[in-house]
Amino acid sequence: MSDTNQINNPIPASKGTVFISYARADDRKFDFDGTTRGWVNFFWDYLRWALTDKGLPQANLWLDRYQIEPAEDFTQKIEQALKEARLIIAIVSPNWVQRPWCRKEVTRFAELNPKYLGDGIVPVRKGETLETELPEPLRNREGYRFYEKDTTGALREFYWNGLKDRDAYEKELKRIVMWIAGRLMSSPPPAQTASVPNGQVVYLARSADELSDAWQRVANDLRGAGHVVLPSNPLPDTAAAAEERVRDALTKSDLSVHFLGDSEGVKPDGTNEGIVRLQLRLAREAARPSDPRPRVLWVPKWLPGHPDTKRDPFDVLKLFGGLVPGEEVYAEEATDLSQMLRARLARSPPKAPDELRVIIAAEPSDNDG
């Protein structure tokens, strides 16, 4: 689909949120060949694709991919996501049952959404656990099983550091898609997921690989909220064609969002400039006093896979020419970025700030050390 067709035919608004509860340990991988993906990461992407393939691109999969410790307060973003959720999927495993935070997500969903408890909660069984280890709302539910037991009692997992049994995996995944479709289409979504009456056009700058999961998540959320995300397809491999495509998409956009990790991303043929820097440069060039193009620079304090290594957003910005007028810096997590963008776009067409704007929230624990 071309970018013009994408604007003329935006994806319909969200019909409900599916909250995915998981243990972070279940998404770790041993990447011996450069292609292995974590269990949860693979499941989320495959489910997202399968829902789109079945005509439900608007189904919003909520997945918090950042570290949350059991000792922390029940954060506002988790609370809000559980309030908005129509369904909850718990990826049950020996790791999951040992995490008080995971069990709390399920029990809190049950407290907040009693009308959905009967058909709105399901276990996805990654590994074998005892029913007595599960929180009450999950007990005695068949759910979906991504492993089999042989005659000796040994487990044969459909996905173990890579896809081992595609047919069996896809069979269970399709069952989950039908479950989601049946629930989301059978009743209206909660009031919090009301659609945006007039979707806007967002240039969501293509990211380096390290932030590609976050990019996809934000893109899905914006499209689910009725907005158009450009570019709709990967950028061309040559510099000249890529620049032409970026400039054209920027002229159609109300707002641009740029994902700044630790690298500039791939370099198109014909330039030494990475794709991240190239898009930011063109967005800055396109901004004019008579036709402002606001830019949000997402500079997360923690990169995916590196929860113990905190970054200084301003040090990162120095690598990209610093901060210039008309730009905002946002340093929180991808889920927070998505919520901020949707709230902003729902209010009114974005306008460029009169001066530099920096949005960097902090936890009290950030002052430790």
pLDDT tens, residue by residue, 115-174: 666 678 889 999 999 989 999 889 888 889 999 988 888 889 999 988 899 999 999 999
For the segment(s) 17-188, the CATH number from 3.40.50.280, 2.60.40.1510, 2.60.40.10, 3.40.50.10140 is 3.40.50.10140
CATH 3.40.50.10140 range(s) for the chain read 17-188
Q: Give the homologous superfamily in CATH for domain 196-367.
A: Response regulator (3.40.50.2300)
| Tokens coding 196 | 């945006």
Number of C-beta neighbours around residue 366 at 10 A = 11
Strand partners for 148: 156
Residues near 335 by Cβ (< 8 Å), separated by ≥ 6?
A: 62, 64, 66, 77, 81, 217
The larger pLDDT score, comparing residue 342 to residue 116, is at 342
AA identity, residue 313: P
Sheet-wide strand order for 201-204 = 228-230, 201-204, 255-259, 295-298, 327-330, 357-359
Q: Is the full-model pTM beyond 0.85?
A: no
Res. 200: pLDDT tops 80: yes
Cβ atoms of 150 and 158 within 8 Å: the answer is no
Does residue 241 sit in helix, strand or coil?
A: helix
Q: Exposed, middle or buried by CB within 10 Å (0-12, 13-18, 19+), for 15?
A: buried
Q: Where in the chain is the domain with CATH 3.40.50.2300?
A: 196-367
